Amino acid sequence: MTRSAPALRVALLQTAPRLGAVDANLAELNRRLRQVADADLAVAPELATHGYHLGDLDDPRPLPAADERLAGLGGHGPAVVAGFAEAHRHHRYNSAAIVDGERVAVQRKLYLPTYRDWEERKHFRPGGRLRCHDVRGARVAVLICNDLWQPPLPWLAAHGGAEVVVVIANSVESEAAVPVRKAWDLLLAHTAVALQTYAVFVNRSGVERGRRFWGGSCVVGPDGETLVRLGADEDRAVADLDLAALRALRRRWPLLQESRFDLVAGEAARLAAEEK
């Protein structure tokens, strides 16, 4: 396939990590990365190295960001986004490693769900900053699952320059106001269209502790159309993101021209004061 220039070729790696089997999960990621060596960016799910229900384990074996095995993921060609349980001093974080060559950056999950069956705040500390990263000629932000459900975060990512919002997830079959798959489709389409970005969503598959993860990894373009979508099983797909067309759209329809950070900051401060 001929790519536009500039463009970003993204590989979606929809895996089913085994709970606590860190070495095996890393070996599987390395195997899959070798299969997409021609991609610019490869994306694996939230906690792809560890599995989700870490509270069930006596020792979840979190990894420091400097672990050479994480850096090794960047040795197959593409830059890599992969979720992992991070050890930092005496804290643990639900994090994404952004690996490009030997360079490893980290984005920590900012909003940890702790309601109903979700108990992430019992096991992780929330991150405190949203960063954008320059990856192979594109500006990329990474959100982790519940982070996309918080409207300020994708907005901040776009105003930080993000052209691609990568969302990695561990989403299970469920239903609140709407079926969870429909909710994700709405969130991803809104992010892509309203913020003039590509939205890259990679969910895990498989069953863990009786919960079924539904996969459905996809890429949504700034026109709201889905470029590629996977089913429920372990699989991979590749999508070419036309960055030149995205940048032309932003010039033609400059929806992000006015951030009004002064307004947002003022209203946030007012609401925070009212909560006291």
For the sheet containing 91-100, what is the strand order? Answer: 103-108, 91-100, 79-88, 41-43, 7-14, 235-242
Task: State mean pLDDT over 93-111.
Answer: 97
DSSP helix/strand/coil, 275: helix
Task: State mean pLDDT over 19-30.
Answer: 98
For residue 237, the tally of other CB atoms under 10 A from its CB is 18
* pLDDT value, residue 1: 42
* pLDDT value, residue 116: 77
Name the DSSP class of 116: T
What would the pLDDT profile of 199-219 be if each residue is shown by its tens digit?
Answer: 999 999 999 999 999 999 999
For the sheet containing 198-203, what is the strand order? Answer: 132-135, 138-144, 164-169, 198-203, 218-220, 226-229
Residue type for position 43: V
* pLDDT value, residue 175: 86
d(CA 47, CA 138): 24
d(CA 256, CA 260): 10
d(CA 78, CA 99): 9
**Where does the pLDDT of residue 115 fall: very low under 50, low under 70, confident under 90, or very high at 90 and above?**
confident
d(CA 108, CA 62): 13
Residue at token pair 């980290």: 106
* pLDDT value, residue 5: 61
pLDDT at 2 over 70: no
This prediction's pTM: 0.96
Give me the chain's average pLDDT, please: 95
**Where does the pLDDT of residue 176 fall: very low under 50, low under 70, confident under 90, or very high at 90 and above?**
confident
d(CA 263, CA 269): 10
* pLDDT value, residue 276: 81
What would the pLDDT profile of 207-265 be if each residue is shown by its tens digit?
Answer: 999 999 999 999 999 999 999 999 999 999 999 999 999 999 999 999 999 999 999 99
* pLDDT value, residue 136: 96
Residue at token pair 């709970």: 19
Which residue blocks in the chain are alpha helix, DSSP H?
22-34, 68-72, 152-159, 180-194, 243-252, 261-275
What would the pLDDT profile of 116-164 be if each residue is shown by its tens digit?
Answer: 778 899 999 999 999 999 999 999 999 999 999 999 999 999 999 999 9
Q: 29: burial class by Cβ within 10 Å (0-12, 13-18, 19+)?
A: buried
